[in-house]
Amino acid sequence: MKDSILLTGATGALGSMLLERLSRAGYEIICLVRAKDRSEARARIQAIVGNRENVKVIRGDVTEPRCGISDIDRELLVGRIKRMLHCAASINFQNKNATQTTNVAGVLHVLELTDILDAWHVMHISTAYVVGDAPYLGEQSLSLGQRWNNSYEESKFIGESMVRAWTLKRDERRFTIFRPSILVGCEDGTTSTFDGYYRCFEPIHRVAEGLRNHRGKPLPPDIRIEDNGTVRVPLAVIVPDTRVNYVPIDWVADMIVAAVEAPARNETYHLVHHNPVRARDALSWSLDHLKVQGVAVCSTQQEKDVVVAAQSPLVRRLQRRIDIVHAAYVPYVAAEPQFQMETAPRNLGKIFRLPPIIDQPFLKRTLSYALQNNWGARKTSDRALV
């Protein structure tokens, strides 16, 4: 059997894929799982990979000191774990307390546990959007004088800084940092999470469905429902003519697992798209699939304000519902940062492959899956995701 790895965030979107792949590759995986007791923790992991001899489970929580593990588990794991794969995170854009508790204090507790277990290598899942508002991010760069679009980006920046500082304190310590861009569904369209891309389009779909099923007063003249179900409604979205860096989550998982085999040399891997999709293309293809037309695509807030001023009162109310969600994602289409990606091709060699092109068929598959699964209702959590 290969080395033992302690994995946090194993029940999350990316973490569950890493658990499946690493255990299949022959690693012994110790899963640190947030639960009320060991039995519940084990049940959560068994729901993902079943009973596997090389998958062990301990109850813990990265928000607690030394990750909340028991004295018995600590004694059993000392000297057995040499590598930590830290995947647990909060992707809450609005709640700074949530991101600080999980993404900052959580990293501190993971590093504390790493020392307690006498481990030497921390593999840390970050995000390419530690770039903030900077135009370019190199793989070995971090502090660029950037400003943050939200508390999530800032917390991931602080977490990375902590991992790097921990490594510098002892010569034998090593880090490997992975920075994926915006995670979307798998190459076949399926997904274990509904965030990012999906959350942008779910409120538009909900509005359209409400209008299709409208009962009661006649609709205002600026809304029309066609015989084929297409909804024409003059909503407005801010989408400049930029590219947005989506990557399939299963491609990211494959590249991380491949990198686990590579020597640990204090390196950062950018797992980003080499040819990002144009944001307006992604919008157009997605609205076509959802049978929504008439949406005004604006480059600036001023353009959007003109459109909103002409909306009927009903459309304006619907617009406000959509804006509540879209406000968090506007920064990711308002700018087009560039990312270096050289470490993965260099270190992984023939194993490395570029991500698939995000085209109309790809987005059609992801949206079809989202519609079939009601946009992940009752499944979404802001913990243990990236």
| pLDDT band with cut points at 50, 70 and 90 for residue 385 | very low
Q: Which amino acid is at 270?
A: H
Task: For residues 347-371, give the mean pLDDT.
Answer: 96
- Output the pTM of the full model: 0.94
Percent of the chain at pLDDT above 90?
A: 90
Residue-wise pLDDT tens digits, 187-221: 999 988 788 789 899 999 999 999 999 877 789 99
Predicted local confidence at residue 1, as pLDDT: 58
For the cut 70, the answer to whether the pLDDT of residue 171 exceeds it is: yes
**Residues 196, 205: Cα–Cα separation, whole Å:** 15
How many C-beta neighbours within 10 Å does residue 210 have?
12
Residue-wise pLDDT tens digits, 236-269: 999 999 999 999 999 999 999 999 999 999 999 9
Indicate the helix (H) or strand (E) that contains 348: helix 343-348
In order of start, what are the domains of the chain with their CATH numbers?
A: 4-187+245-275+337-357 (3.40.50.720), 197-242+278-334 (no CATH)
* Residue from 250, 256, 268 nearest 352 by CA: 256
**Residues 313, 219: Cα–Cα separation, whole Å:** 11
Residue-wise pLDDT tens digits, 112-162: 999 999 999 999 999 999 999 999 999 999 999 999 999 999 999 999 999
Contacts of residue 306, Cβ cutoff 8 Å, sequence gap at least 6 = none
Where in 12-82 does DSSP place strands (E)? Answer: 28-33, 55-59
Predicted local confidence at residue 229, as pLDDT: 94
DSSP code, position 184: E
Paired with 58 in beta bridges are 32
Packing angle, helices 13-24 and 38-49, rounded to 10: 70
**Residues 78, 75: Cα–Cα separation, whole Å:** 6
Task: For residues 67-82, give the mean pLDDT.
Answer: 93
DSSP code, position 383: B
